[in-house]
Amino acid sequence: MRKPDQTEFHDSARTRATPGSRPPRPSRRDERRAREARDRRRSILLVAGVVIVLVIATMAGIRLLSPNVASPPSDGPVSPSVLRDLTSVPQSVANSIGQGSATSLPTPVRAELLRGPRGLPRIVYIGAEFCPYCAAERWAMVVALSRFGQFDGLKTARSAVDDVYPGTPTFSFYGATYTSPYLEFEAVETQTSSRVGSSYQTLQTPTPEQQQLIDRFDAPPYVAPENAGAIPFIDIANQYVLAGTTFSPGLLANQSWESIAANVAKGNTDQARAIIGSANVLTAAICAATSDSPANVCQQPSIQQIKAALAKEPVPRTGG
């Protein structure tokens, strides 16, 4: 039978102490263990405090180093007010803006009309969610395509925060549907805005037929050699192609979707001149593919004026 050690004795003595009696004095071993326990608790609390301070300091440092870097993509439904502002600009305002500050026109192709499964003129868009230039051009595309049909399931997004024009507010065509009695629209968002190693995460892959369009028209002579393969790339029914954006994403910096859409609706802002002007350019090219249908869109004076300018542009020579 094991004899109780001093600790066990005093534990028993404390248990048997009568009310009001003075408890036995702790042994040196008890005092040492209590002291060690207190020291351990202090060490744990000190380490925890240091970790908390470091975490807070790191988060604050990131915020201080990047005060204007936008948050990750929102990936939420587009506000009804945003769509309303973008799709209800009066025709008188759109006509007064004309080409606006759009800096380039689509390049003419005028090949055999590209049709979709329903036999309607087909528009193919190739872009990526990380791309700030795609982010800018989608604003104009939403305005232009909404004149011919309707989007469903359109979501908000931002371009990559580690690229130029970081966190540009935009939309994503991924998962959205588009219906129109005049044309068919295909969108391919090839990558997300989230990095995986040295690249961005793959999202969608062009079909072999879509890749053929890219190889043929997102290349010289339709695109400058240094811009071959550029995104965004838009094939408007093999009648016109556009590679790159028609206005600077910098116009959308540090703004919300609501503020950009409200500025578009006002009609007298830099955002309106860029987005509506670019939408008018795209609309004119689309009208060339739809034989000016619908008339209430394509017969507008500004659209006809841009369409006439597009018609004067020669098809780039493919030979030597």
β-bridge mates for residue 188, sequence order: 126
Q: Give me the mean pLDDT over the 70-89 stretch.
A: 80
Cα–Cα separations (whole angstroms), residue 115 to 17, 37, 124, 144, 303: 97, 79, 10, 19, 22
Tens of pLDDT, residue by residue over 153-169, are 999 999 999 999 999 99
Share of the chain above pLDDT 70, in %: 76
Q: Who's near 42: CB < 8 A, 6+ residues apart?
A: none
Residue in 88, 198, 222, 195 with CA at minimum distance from that of residue 146? 88
Q: Which two tokens stand for residue 316?
A: 């780039």
Q: Which pLDDT score, from 0 to 100, does residue 104 have? A: 86
Statement: residue 289 has pLDDT above 60: yes
- The structure tokens 């868009």 sit at 125
- CA dist 107 and 261 (Å) reads 28
Confidence at residue 40, expressed as pLDDT on a 0 to 100 scale: 56
Residue 122 backbone phi and psi in degrees, to 5: -115, 130
How much is the pTM?
0.77
Range in 30-39, 57-66, 214-223 the model is least confident about: 57-66
Instruction: Confirm if 127 and 142 have CB atoms less than 8 A apart.
Output: no
314 exposure class (CB count in 10 Å sphere: 0-12, 13-18, 19+): exposed
The helix (H) or strand (E) run that includes residue 34 is helix 28-65
Report pLDDT for 37: 57
Position 5 pLDDT exceeds 90: no
Give Cα separations from 13 to 31, 109, 159, 229, 285 (angstroms): 17, 101, 73, 87, 98
Single-letter amino acid, residue 67: P
| pLDDT the model gives residue 246 | 95
Each domain of the chain, given as residue ranges in start order, spans 27-67, 80-312
Residues forming a β-bridge with 302: none
C-alpha to C-alpha distances, 192 to 51, 92, 124, 149, 200, nearest whole angstrom = 33, 37, 19, 26, 6
Q: Give, in degrees to the nearest 5, the angle at Cα 166 between 163 and 171.
A: 105
The model's pLDDT over 46-61, given as tens digits with 9 standing for 90+, comes to 444 544 434 344 443 3
**Contact call for residues 172 and 189 (beta carbons, < 8 A):** yes
